[in-house]
Amino acid sequence: MIHLRNDALRLELVPEQGASVLGMDFLGASGWQPVLVPDIHQPTGALASGLFWMLPFANRARNNRLHDIRLLPNTLEPLALHGTAWQKPWTIDAVDETSASLTLRAENPFLYSAGLKVQLQGSTCKTQLWIRNEAGQDIPAGMGAHPYFPRLSDTRMQFSASQFYLEGPDHLPTEVIQLPPELDFSVAAVLPTSWRNNAYGGWNGRATITQPSLGYQLSMIADEGLRELMFYTDPALPRFALEPQSHTSGATLQAVAAPQVGLSVLHPGQTMAVRLSLTLSTLS
C-alpha cells in the first residue's frame, strides 16, 4: 500500500487492486474525517475501496459488447462491469510523500496501456488518468472514476445536468425524461431515501458535497473529458457514489440514442487523458 499525506489530506493507494484508493481523510477543525470511504463489510478488492478507476469503459457494457468486441462477465453480474483495469495489479513508477505515478499494460479486451498520477496539493487531491491504444487497429474506449462518499442523514449534494435517464432492469439507462424534483440537484439537497442508480447527461463538470456532521465541504471538478455522471445510492449502505465518466453507461460507438455520449475511437498509438480534482474546505 502507498501512503500519501500532507498537512490537510491523507490517502492510501493499493497498486495490486487496480490502483484503487482504499480511503482518503481530511483534517478539519475536529480532527481527521472520512472523505472517500471503503466498504468494511466486503472482502478486500477494488469494488470495496473508496475509489477505483473504470477503463477501458465505464459502468456496464450493453449486451456485453464494446462495439464489435465481445466481452465476458467479470463479476457475478451478467454484464461486464467497470472495464478491466480495476481487476489488475498496477506498477509503481514513482512515489514520494504527496504524489504517486502508476502504470498498467493490459491485453483484455484489447492491447492497451494506462497511467495514473495522484497528487496531494494543499487540501486538493489531483488525479490524472490516461489510456493509450497499443493494438494494431482502432479501439473503442472510455474511462471514469468511481468514488464513494459518506452517506449521512444531513449529507447534501449539488450539481447541474441537462439530461436524466431512467434505469432499466439491467441497470442501464433507458429513456430520457425531465428531471424529477427529488433527483434534481441543481440546488443543494439531501440524498434520496430510496434506491437510485441513474445516469445524468450534460453535466457541467462540477459537483459539491456538503457534510455538516463531518465539518467539511467537498468540491469535485472534472475536465471536459468527463461530462457524464452516474449517481448511485442505497439507503441501506453508509456510502454513496457519484461517478464522473467519459460516456453514458452502456453506450457504444454506433447506434447511440441521442443525447447519449458514446465511446471514443482511439487510433493505434493514440492516448486519451482526463483530470479530476477533489478539494476540501472546512465549514464555518
Q: Which CATH architecture has domain 2-282?
A: Distorted Sandwich (2.70)
| Residues 145-187: tens digit of each pLDDT | 999 999 999 999 999 999 999 999 899 998 899 888 889 999 9
The span from the CA of 237 to the CA of 270, in Å, is 40
> Residue written as cell 466486503?
42
Tell if the pTM clears 0.85, that is, is over it.
yes
pLDDT tier for residue 254 given thresholds of 50, 70 and 90: low
User: According to the model, what pLDDT value does residue 45 have?
Assistant: 86
Question: Are the C-beta atoms of residues 97 and 4 closer than 8 Å to each other?
Answer: yes
User: According to the model, what pLDDT value does residue 41 have?
Assistant: 79
CA–CA distances in Å: residue 94 to residues 129, 134, 224, 251: 15, 22, 27, 35
Residue type, 281: S
> Do you find a cis peptide bond into 150, omega within 30 degrees of 0?
no
Domain boundaries defined on the chain: 2-282
User: According to the model, what pLDDT value does residue 283 have?
Assistant: 96
End-to-end CA distance of the chain: 34
The residue count of the chain comes to: 284
Residue 74, SS3 per DSSP: coil
User: According to the model, what pLDDT value does residue 53 have?
Assistant: 98
Give the phi and the psi of residue 181 in degrees, each rounded to 5.
Answer: -55, -40
The span from the CA of 219 to the CA of 216, in Å, is 10
User: According to the model, what pLDDT value does residue 256 have?
Assistant: 59
Other C-beta atoms lying within 10 Å of the C-beta of residue 216: 21
Q: Pick the more confident residue, 180 or 274.
A: 274
| Residues 84-135: tens digit of each pLDDT | 999 999 999 999 999 999 999 999 999 999 999 999 999 999 999 999 999 9
Residue 74 has pLDDT above 50, yes or no: yes
Question: Are the C-beta atoms of residues 195 and 183 closer than 8 Å to each other?
Answer: no
- Strand pairing partners for 13? 2, 21
User: According to the model, what pLDDT value does residue 255 have?
Assistant: 46
> Do you find a cis peptide bond into 259, omega within 30 degrees of 0?
yes
Question: Are the C-beta atoms of residues 44 and 32 closer than 8 Å to each other?
Answer: no
How many CA within 13 A on the CB side of residue 154? Answer: 8
Three cell numbers written together for 217 = 465541504
